[in-house]
Structure 1
Amino acid sequence: MARRYGGKYSPQDGGPPPQGYPGVAPGRALPMGAPPPHPLARRTGWLLVAAIPFLGQAFGGGPEALVRGIGAFALIGGGVWLLREGLRAEAAWMARKVARRPAIPRKIFGSVVFGAGLALGAQAPEMGLAGAIVVGAVGAALSLAAFGPDPMKDKGMEGIDGFQQDRVARAVAEGEKHLTEMRDAIRRAQDPLLSARVERFAATAQDLFRAVEEDPGDLASARRYMGVYLMGARDATVKFADLWTATRDAKARSDYEALLTDLEGNFTARTQSLIAGGREGLEIEIDVLRDRLAREGVVTPKLPDPTKEPSAGQ
């Protein structure tokens, strides 16, 4: 019996997802560069399924019942969409060490719209307007309790200049746009191996994005990578996809993969350089603080080096 090949480096087998991503079962593949799914994202579909009876009530009861049934289903569908988008934004917020709160509280708005749909669908002569409002309020409250509110504060941005953070956000958005265009271009080649190769490079580039987000002062040294170099990679991907679709030139494919390898190595080196620079800056701050304390007559204890093994007599 034929068996599909899979392994650590096979693009069909993504391996276990990174630790700390909630809602991803162990061993389940997670697309490179994609935000982790929210553990409650799948539950939103059941809300839409539960609203199907409103469509059944819309037919056979006259124009008023038609408008009420279809309107209720449409409002509930809109609420479910807002809840799903809010969960996706919260998952991205949870996955990053440094993140701004969502600009729009989609989960809260989604719960309100969901409650409005329930109120419209429940409005019947025997229940009255007051009863429908109660049903809608209870539905909105239960939805908010089930899915929780949106993140209401920024994370990891204490002491960070807001203007500098905005510059980083614009640079990251520009880089993400180039990566999306690379994915769209290579998809035309209709080759899963090439798509997986581009995704791996995109994940490397996004590691650089995260490093700059955590330390906005590194933007000056990384801006070329997030703008000019990614723009060049996008243009090369577009030209390669057109050539590969027309000719299936193996030499062009080899050159393109070598280009991605070189870019990946450079992006990785730049990310490691930024991390090392941050560690060096921390050591300088510690030394300066110790010198100031020493001048004030305060003696600071010498911390042990965690990289050295303690001696037998200690």
Structure 2
Amino acid sequence: MIARRHPFDGRRRLRGSSRARMMLLPAALFFLTGFFGDAAHLLTFWAAGLLIIASSWLTREGLRAGLAYDTRTIARRPALPRKLMAAGATGLGLAVGTVQQGPVLALLMGVAGAALHVASFGVDPLRDKGEGLDASRVARAVDEAESYLNEITTRIEALGDPALSGRVAGFVATARGLFRRVEDDPRDLPGARRYLGVYLMGARDATVAFADLSAQRADGDARRDYVALLSDLETDFANRTSVLLQNDRADLDLEISVLRDRLTREERGRA
């Protein structure tokens, strides 16, 4: 039984990523404008362009971190407030780029640029999702598991094999189905800890070895073995998710049975 694909799994397009890339246009203008002046003029405008480029990169990273946070039931806030840092870099870049027009205009442009960035892209999550010790443990375990999945995906995509990348995406979706299951009920963490840690670490190591070999030469046998490993792992993860769901059903049936027995005894006592 294959776990139900989570609606946020796969290659969902980041909202705002195209706008973040459009920030490279003013950076290019700053670079070009820098050539029309002396050395100080060049350095000033190139510094402004570099700050805008840094802001664009931080914005995209902040959007990715925000999407990962939004799609999880239990999550820790991003360690770095990337979007806020990007807003600051945007404001500073605009201020540096207009400082030759006067400090007042530079200050106004900097404040306006930072404010517009916040209005356009928002701010980073500022608090953890979920409460209590169990939620913290689940968040750490899922963060570790996600890091393994991200490394697996990155190494395989670098090979430029669309069919293999799609196969890995299917395994990643199934694995994340188990993650979501554990997040929904932290009591399931002990039964899934091996899958979130040991098994995915092994999958990551196997992926690194396969990717290194494939970068040197094509090996059909190694590719088949790797795909077979993914299939086995996908089945294991799907089965574990199914077991956890069945355990919940058994717990519910037990609670209903106990409740019925209690009601029956109360009815007899009143009679």
Shorter-chain TM-score bucket reads 0.7 to 0.9
Q: Which residue of 2 aligns with 1:165?
A: 135
2:72 maps to 1:96:
yes
After TM superposition, the score normalised by the length of structure 2 is 0.78
Please state how far the C-alpha of 1:88 moved relative to its aligned partner. 1.4
Q: Which residue of 1 aligns with 2:15?
A: 39
Please, which runs of 5 or more residues in structure 2 have no aligned partner?
A: 266-271
Q: Structure 2: how far apart are the matches of 1:88 and 1:189? A: 23
Q: Structure 2: how far apart are the matches of 1:74 and 1:130? A: 22
Please state how far the C-alpha of 1:184 moved relative to its aligned partner. 5.6
Please state how far the C-alpha of 1:232 moved relative to its aligned partner. 3.6
Q: Which residue of 2 aligns with 1:266?
A: 236
2:76 maps to 1:76:
no
Deviations 1:124-144 (A, max 9, x none): 2xx421221012111211121
Q: Which residue of 1 aligns with 2:178?
A: 208
* Bigger Cα displacement from structure 2, 48-57 vs 172-181: 172-181
The question of whether the paired residues in 2 share the 8 Å contact of 1:33 and 1:206 is answered with: no
The question of whether the paired residues in 2 share the 8 Å contact of 1:38 and 1:90 is answered with: no
Q: Which residue of 1 aligns with 2:96?
A: 120
SS in structure 1 at match of 2:86? helix
2:168 maps to 1:192:
no
After TM superposition, the score normalised by the length of structure 1 is 0.68
SS in structure 2 at match of 1:123? helix
Specify which structure has the higher proportion of helix.
2
Q: Which residue of 1 aligns with 2:112?
A: 138
Q: Structure 2: how far apart are the matches of 1:279 and 1:183? A: 34
Amino acid at match of 1:153: R
Q: Which residue of 1 aligns with 2:193?
A: 223
SS in structure 2 at match of 1:193? helix
The question of whether the paired residues in 2 share the 8 Å contact of 1:37 and 1:88 is answered with: no
Please state how far the C-alpha of 1:97 moved relative to its aligned partner. 2.8
Identical counterparts, % of pairs? 47
Q: Against the structure 1 CA distance between its residues 286 and 88, is the aligned structure 2 distance closer, same or farther, given a 3 Å change threshold? A: farther
2:39 maps to 1:63:
yes
Please, which runs of 5 or more residues in structure 1 have no aligned partner?
A: 1-16, 22-31, 296-314
Structure of greater relative contact order (alpha carbons < 8 Å, 6+ residues apart): 2
Q: Structure 2: how far apart are the matches of 1:279 and 1:187? A: 39
Q: What is the root-mean-square deviation of aligned Cα atoms in Å? A: 3.6
The question of whether the paired residues in 1 share the 8 Å contact of 2:151 and 2:204 is answered with: yes
